[in-house]
Structure 1
Amino acid sequence: MQATITQGEFGTLPDGRRATLYTLVNANGLVVKISDFGGVITEIHTPDRNGHFADINLGFDNVLPYLEDSPYFGALIGRHGNRIAHGRFVLDGREIQLPINDGPNHLHGGPQGFHRVFWRVAPFERDGSVGLTLRYLSADSEQGYPGNLDVQVVYELTAANELWVRFHAITDQATPVNLTQHAYFNLAGKGSILGHLLMIDADAFTPVDSTLIPTGELRPVAGTPFDFRSAHAIGAHIGEPDEQLAHGGGYDHNFVLNKAGEGCQLAARVVEPVSGRVLEMHTEQPGVQFYSGNFLDGSLTGKGWNYFYRGGFCLEPQHFPDAPNQPGFPGTILRPGEEYRTQSKFAFSVEK
């Protein structure tokens, strides 16, 4: 079987603009579908231990639902992933105010962040891989952010059943940048994700207040429900009486990765024991936001499924939440003359 890229229509926006859907297929039959609207990953088809393929990615089969209150299904996130307290920070003596779109805070680049823009797309094929190069110029003051930010994202599906996501950005003014990919996974294809076995290579996490803004502490996971250093079921401790679980409605926290700064390292591994499907997430980022689908409530339907409570999980490689206001966290300010570069990969396999 030869790797292929095809493209087709993905629906029309109310203003008449048409979205395109690109279908990447590798030599093993893995399928990844990506739209130019939001850079959204709409489908990922992988085999179980018996060779039966299923779509393990939550999403929709048309662009229109992504315009509504979609919980960032499969989207590219920017300029700054995760939350910024009260949408405010001080940069070089100047107070910046961003739009508020998550309680009292700014979330995922604002209501019209990178998840709701059209990206310019160039498909490519090389060395058995197929992929897309996406470009977007975020203008000065877009969603309140200073500077013109030129962003490039490369999706590459390899013959080794790996989906690479590579980010690059440059700016003409100092601006915070924290880009990530927000895919929701369910390795069974449907149903609850609480039986999935999860490992996160992190000795600490960043606890949050009641609005999910970090307190600034790096808290050891040992002795808490956040200790995923050895794989166990996502649901094993999710119902325990714990203040941090109460704040998030479950897991919605940043984990401080042990191998940050050591290249693209294994950060998390998930196994769905019934199907045997395995997802390994590698990243160069210092953190990963693990989200257990706490706000899914069955009101969203896509590709023939209702997305019920805890019917999907996210592993979002990124810098820490509220970094522009947290001097103890790795910085996210990009300045003229610097380059933002980071990469992550999602590797798919099976356990027999």
Structure 2
Amino acid sequence: MNINEQSILGRWKEFTLTNDHGMSVSMLDFGGIITKICVPDREGNVENVVLGYKDYKHYEDNPNFFGALIGRVGGRIQDASFEIDGIKYPLETNDGDNHLHGGSSGFHHVIWDAQSFQTDNTVGLMLTHTSLDGAGGYPGNVEVAVTYTLNNDNELILDYAAKTDKSTPLTMTNHSYFNLSGDLKDTVQHHNVTMNSSYFVELDHALIPTGRKLDVSNTTFDFRNGRMLQDGFVTDSEQHLIADHGYDHYFIFDNEGKVVVYEENAGRRLTVRTEQPGMVMYTANGLADRLELAEGLSRKHLGVCFETQSSPASLHNDGFPSVMLKAEDTYNKRTIFSFDVEK
């Protein structure tokens, strides 16, 4: 187990965590951005399984949110506003008339205070930041800590913690784009995904939740017995057309928050376990062509995000997992990304 630290562009630091079994994870103190996750395939070939820029300067804007920590609120907030106790809080409109992923002052654009650590069986990095009252339009001073831990079971553990002095919306996530083919050999069309979710959230044409939960039965949103992602790329059903021939939807977990992803050619399997009530699965439908990534040029459907979180739809609709953090409460959530191979 070891940790390597290097300077990036003279103003950021990149930390690389390496375990004893050929897995490494690299991340920046800027935006908490995961730049690489390198894991073996069934033949033992170690390759990168997340999307990242070839030239690190492109992370400064990062409109695709590659690898970034997202907050205060992951996802879209309708009409870029919300109310607490009858007080309306306007937010930045950075996605049409709506607010996306915390806005331009969101956590993905913060240089976090970083402290690395190591034990006998783990290496990790703790990132801390204080988001001031009024930042991005949100109320409350919020103290945030996000910890990345890599262990010898090839698990990357993300622990999110926060407290606030005023009630405020908060649901953090990570926006890594996974591609288990390794070094971008293929799109994610042949990734098989299994998750226990009977309902997903309907979207309107602006990708804002309508307030309706739709039954997945007999649709290409039913992953309860496993399904190839390409099923959602080729169908002409309305919800896939709204998402530009893919998935960009919030799935509500029936009970256990668990997602299993398998790519047959490389044999890699990713298991996502989370304490969150659901997740947005986004299949890079809007990813522009020909961005210079570390292993080649970008194209549509080149990655898939598993954005474990509560639902910002709860700010405008009843019956959705709440994103509100009260002053007397503490936010603690964990998501684990574990990697293995199927021979």
TM-score scaled by length of structure 2: 0.97
| Alignment size in residue pairs | 340
How do 1:248-267 residues align onto structure 2 when only pairs under 5 Å count?
248-249=243-244, 250-259=246-255, 265-267=256-258
Letter in 2 for 1:212: L
- 1:109-188 superposed matches below 5 A: 109-188=102-181
CA contact (8 A) 1:167 1:343 kept: yes
Which residue of 2 is the match for residue 347 of structure 1? Answer: 338
The answer to whether structure 1 residue 311 and structure 2 residue 309 are counterparts is no
Structure 2 unmatched ranges of 5 or more: none
Q: SS in structure 1 opposite 2:198?
A: strand
1:123-148, Cα deviation, whole Å (9 max, x unpaired): 01123110001000001111100111
Deviation at 1:333, TM superposition (A): 1.2
Question: Could you report, residue by residue, the CA deviation over 1:279-312 in whole angstroms, capped at 9, with x for unpaired residues?
Answer: 0100000111101110112232121411111111
1:245 has 2:245 as partner: no
Partner of 1:334: 325
| Contact 2:290/2:298 (<8 A) preserved | yes
Equivalent residue runs for 1:149-298 within 5 Å: 149-189=142-182, 190=184, 191-249=186-244, 250-259=246-255, 265-298=256-289
Task: Work out the CA distance in 1 between the residues paired with 2:232 and 2:69.
Answer: 30
Q: Is the 8 A contact 2:198 2:216 kept in 1?
A: yes
TM-score for the superposition, normalised by structure 1 = 0.94
In 2, Cα distance between equivalents of 1:183 and 1:128: 24
Alpha-carbon RMSD across the aligned residues, in angstroms, is 1.2
Secondary structure of 2:209 counterpart: coil
The DSSP-based 3-state class of the residue aligned with 1:217 is strand
Identity of aligned residues (%): 39
* Contact 1:6–1:22 (CA under 8 A) maintained in structure 2: yes
Please tell me the residue identity of whatever aligns with 1:224.
Answer: T
In the alignment, structure 1 residue 20 sits paired with structure 2 residue 23: no
Which of 63, 66, 69 does residue 73 from structure 1 map onto? 66
In structure 1, how many angstroms separate the alpha carbons of the residues matched to 2:232 and 2:27?
A: 34
Match of 2:6 among 8, 16, 22: 8
Deviates more, 1:290-299 or 1:61-70: 61-70
Is the Cα–Cα contact under 8 Å of residues 254 and 321 in structure 1 kept in the other structure? no
Unmatched 5+ stretches in structure 1:
13-17, 260-264
| Counterpart code for 2:250 | N
Separation in structure 2 between the aligned mates of residue 220 and residue 172 of structure 1, nearest angstrom: 38
